[in-house]
Each structure stands twice: as structure tokens, then as C-alpha cells.
Amino acid sequence: MNAVPEASELREVSGPSSLGGGRRRLLDLLWLMSVTEFKRAYFGTVLGYVWSLVRPLMLFGVLLFVFTQVFKVGSEIHDYPVMLLLGIVQYTFFQEATQNAVTSVVAQEGVVRKTQFPRLVIPLATVLTAFFNFCLNLIIVFAFILAWGVTPAWTWLLYPVALTMLFVLTAALSTALSVLYVRFRDVAIIWTVLAQVLFYATPILYPLGPNGFEDPTLMRLLMINPLAVIFEQVRVWVLTEPAAPTAAEAAGGALHLLPALAIFVGVCAYAVWIFAREAPRIAEEL
């Protein structure tokens, strides 16, 4: 068995916290919770997974039709359909994870008020569950990408870097939102609106570069959004579209990516701080 501390030794009990109970326990619990939740949602019913795929695919179908047939924006650009699909699937993960996380702590009220465990598990498990779903969707997306004629390049190896960035940002936002919602119940509504805004502030519908969205000032503004930076870089790395500007090019120089980096780091730091501050009192606030 693992090292059980000597039973006769008195140790300080410091109360609940975000990590309380040790890192090992956090990871065990996190893994177990997200896996069981994922299994419950998608393996209990055959249609469970299909439904989770239908939503982004429907959106993709509609948007593809609108932007290639009605507005003819995308028809000039070679990689537009796959870029749209990849963007939508990635954004669906971001939106689903954060949206579910907002209410997660409050929804688990019964558990939070009656048991002791690392509080951080709750929002993170929500994000991880959404991430599993996302990974499944990615398999289908990559099949599409290959079918479209994109040849795998060495830059595909960089995709996990972008995914990690996306995951960290999503997790940080989810954590902060979940704990803010305990105090301020309008966070849910505010976030729905903000998430909508973020969707349009990220190059998903409109490609950057020639034949797309070319205004340098607007592109520079867009690159303040860390999500936009990640998504654009993914397009360069995965779709290897020669016309697509890298994030640095779109921002007008690598130095101009600093604001996005600052926001990224700021969100993460804020999430860690606010959760650590609120975690001991969540049970009382509920």
C-alpha cells in the first residue's frame, strides 16, 4: 500500500482549499470524475455521442452554405471549408467547457457542502469531459482534412502545443467563472454574451489574408484576443495554407503578440488567485 502517515502523529487540519488533500488525490479524482461523466454521457446511449457531433456539424453545414453559396466569401479561399470545420469544433470545445463550468460548482452544491475534497476538481472535471469529447471530434475532423487533400506536414507536430494553450485558457476561464458564479448569479448570462462576442472576435467564419480579411489595423486588433492567436496559428500549422498569415504576421510583428500573451497569463493568474481565495468559503456561500 502507499505510505500512510503514522497514525499517532498529530497534523494540522487547515480546512478546505482548491488543492486540499494533495495533488495526487486531485488528479485521481479529476480523472475518475471526468472519465465516468464522459462514459455516462456518451456510452450509455448510442445516440449520445452522435448528438454531440451533430451540433458542430450542423453549424458547419449551415455556415459553409451561407459563406460559400450566399456571400461567396469563402469560395475564393482554398482551405475555407476545413478551416471553418476545425475552427467550429475547437470553438465548440471552448464554449461547451466554459458554459458547463460556470454552473458546475453550484450544481454540485450537495457534495461541496457535505464532503471535503479539492474544490478545483469540479470545474476542471467539466473541462476535461468536454476535452475528451473534443478529442473524439478531432478524429473526424482530421479525416475530413486528409480527404480534402491537405498533406500531413511536420508542423502537425506543433498542433498539441496549440491544443495545450487552448486547454489551459479554457480551464483557467472555467475555474474563474465557476467560482464567480457562486457569488454573482448573473455571471452565467454575462458569459453567454461574451462567448458569443468572442466567437466573432476569432477568425473562424472569416479567413485572414488575401481574399479574406486583410485590413492590418483590424487584424492587429484581432490578435489581442488569445483565442484568435491560437486559432490562426492552428490554421498555419495544420492546414498549411500558404496564403494564411501566421499570428505574428497578422499582428504586424511578433512583438505585437505581447498583449495577447499578457491577457493569457493574466487570465490564468487571476483564475488561480480567485479560486484559491474563494475555495475555503465556497461551502458557506452556497
Partner 1 sequence: MPIDNATAKTPALDLPPAEPAESPLAIQVEGLKKSFRIPTHRVDSFKERMVRPFAARDFRELKALDGVSFDIRQGEFFGIVGRNGSGKSTLLKLLASIYRADAGSIRMAGRLAPFIELGVGFNVDLTARENVVLNGVMMGLTPKETRGRLDAVLDFAELRDFVDLKLKNYSSGMLVRLAFSTMMQANADILLIDEVLAVGDAAFQQKCADAFREMKAAGKTIVLVTHEMTTVEEYCHRAMLIDSGKIQRIGDPSEIGREYLRLNFQHGSDVGQEAAPAVSEGARLLDAWIEDGDGKRAAGVEHGDRIRFRAEVEMTCDAAGVGVGLIIANADGVGMFHFGSPIEGKDGSGQLHTGERVKVRAELENPLAPGRYYVHCGVRQDGGRGDVSLYVHSAADFVVFGGDRAGGVLALEHEIEVEVEDGSAS
Interface with partner 1, residue 14, by CB under 8 A = yes
Which of 3, 5, 70, 139 forms a contact with partner 1 (CB under 8 A)?
5
Interface with partner 1, residue 259, by CB under 8 A = no
Q: Cα separations (Å) of 3 from 11, 13, 118, 129, 207?
A: 15, 19, 20, 31, 55
Locate 172 and state its grid cell.
483557467
Interface mask (CB under 8 A) for partner 1, residues 22-41, using x and -?
Answer: --xx--xx--xx--x---x-
Which of 45, 115, 164, 192 forms a contact with partner 1 (CB under 8 A)?
115
Please tell me the distance from the alpha carbon of residue 16 to that of residue 82, in angstroms, as a whole number: 46
On whether the CB atoms of residues 211 and 77 are closer than 8 A, the answer is yes
Q: How far is CA 253 from the centre of its chain?
A: 26
Which of 43, 146, 183, 215 forms a contact with partner 1 (CB under 8 A)?
183
Q: What is the 3-state secondary structure (H, E, C) of 44-85?
A: CCHHHHHHHHHHHHHHHHHHHHHHHHHCCCHHHCCCHHHHHH
With H, G, I as helix, E, B as strand and everything else as coil, classify residue 38: helix
Which of 3, 70, 114, 193 forms a contact with partner 1 (CB under 8 A)?
114
Interface with partner 1, residue 10, by CB under 8 A = yes
Which of 64, 107, 158, 190 forms a contact with partner 1 (CB under 8 A)?
190
Closest approach of partner 1 to the CB of residue 45, in Å: 11
CB atoms within 10 A of CB 155: 14
Positions touching partner 1 (CB under 8 A) are: 1-2, 4-5, 7-17, 20-21, 24-25, 28-29, 32-33, 36, 40, 44, 110-111, 113-117, 183-187, 190, 280-281, 283-284
